[in-house]
Structure 1
Amino acid sequence: MEDQADGITDQSPAPQLRRRLGRADLRAVPEARRALRELLRSWGKPGTSEIAELLTSELVTNALIHTDDEAILTATVSPHGLRVEVRDFVARRPRPRAPNAERTHGRGLVLVQSLADAWGVRAHGVGKAVWFELGAGAA
């Protein structure tokens, strides 16, 4: 299914966004936010959109900057909430870093950890998937 056209699909039981992100293409970050906003508009949880967009930006940026490879963004809306997953093709697992006032980077996973209802990293064939969930009641 990964090789199908990118976009929002309503043919599956749950509306889903799927995007292939080009290697080191940081233009994909605002595009991912816009596409996620469109997906969430159909969900009817507008208060969740801003948090979801922020966390998605962090995961997409991390995948594109720290792996020097392509990535795949998948976001699924279900009655249980929103699940966003960014899969890359590098096995090295990310680690949240303690905030440091002298650095302007390295806080993405700390944000994910603090704002998401659940998050994690799982091995995925060649590479890994970093994901977060926002519950249906999180609006």
Structure 2
Amino acid sequence: MAREPSVGDGAARTGTTEIRRSVRRADLKAVGEVRRALRELVRHRCRAETSDVAELLVTELVSNALVHTEQGAEVSVTLVATRLRVEVRDFNARRPTPYVTSADDGTHGRGLVLVQALADAWGVDPLAPGRGKVVWFELEAPAPA
């Protein structure tokens, strides 16, 4: 079951704010819960357009993890100063690759292309054998004007 967002114990001392959430396999309703937790985290700390992009990209990464792997995922969102980092860990070592879709693909296959196009940085970090991978993105997150 999805956990409530947690704010790191050191947040007041370091200026770091975070969310950590576990999502069960095939629990697609948890995608919306993760998106709402992210929105709440950045609501007063970032510009609205940063929040919109972050919500879209976290939706894509969590959905990918739940649809394309046999186990759940772990989501970590960290906001340090003006840098937002989102990590989605799944338990499948297969590396995802962005690809250009055709009209026959319907709504599938666009997630990583969006991440590639909209994130300031992104990547895939393999974990130890049998432990899966982390797909992540970062956005500059300037404070609201």
Separation of aligned partners in 1, 2:80 and 2:124: 20
Gaps of 5+ in 1: none
Q: Answer yes or no: is the 8 Å Cα contact 1:59–1:130 preserved in 2.
A: yes
| 2:85 partner SS | strand
Shift in alpha-carbon separation, 1:96–1:132, aligned structure 2, 3 A: same
Q: Which amino acid aligns with 1:77?
A: L
Which residue is equivalent to 2:139? 134
RMSD: 1.7
Gaps of 5+ in 2: none
- Using the size of structure 1 for normalisation, the TM-score is 0.90
Q: Answer yes or no: is the 8 Å Cα contact 1:87–1:130 preserved in 2.
A: yes
Which residue is equivalent to 1:39? 41
Q: Answer yes or no: is the 8 Å Cα contact 1:87–1:127 preserved in 2.
A: yes
Which residue is equivalent to 1:122? 125
Q: Answer yes or no: is the 8 Å Cα contact 2:45–2:143 preserved in 1.
A: no
- Report the CA distance between 1:102 and its aligned residue: 1.8
- Report the CA distance between 1:69 and its aligned residue: 0.4
- Report the CA distance between 1:63 and its aligned residue: 0.3
Which residue is equivalent to 1:8? 6
Which residues of 2 match residues 65-104 of structure 1 at below 5 A?
65-103=67-105, 104=107
Q: Which amino acid aligns with 1:66?
A: H
Whether 2:59 is the aligned partner of 1:54: answer no
- Report the CA distance between 1:137 and its aligned residue: 4.3
Q: Answer yes or no: is the 8 Å Cα contact 1:6–1:20 preserved in 2.
A: no
Separation of aligned partners in 2, 1:8 and 1:36: 11
- Report the CA distance between 1:42 and its aligned residue: 3.9
Q: Which has the larger radius of gyration?
A: 2
Q: Using the aligned pairs only, state the percent identity.
A: 54
- Report the CA distance between 1:45 and its aligned residue: 2.5
Separation of aligned partners in 2, 1:132 and 1:25: 22
Separation of aligned partners in 1, 2:70 and 2:118: 26
| 2:43 partner SS | helix
Q: Aligned pairs, how many?
A: 135
Separation of aligned partners in 2, 1:73 and 1:11: 18
Separation of aligned partners in 2, 1:6 and 1:29: 13
- Report the CA distance between 1:138 and its aligned residue: 9.4
- Report the CA distance between 1:132 and its aligned residue: 0.3
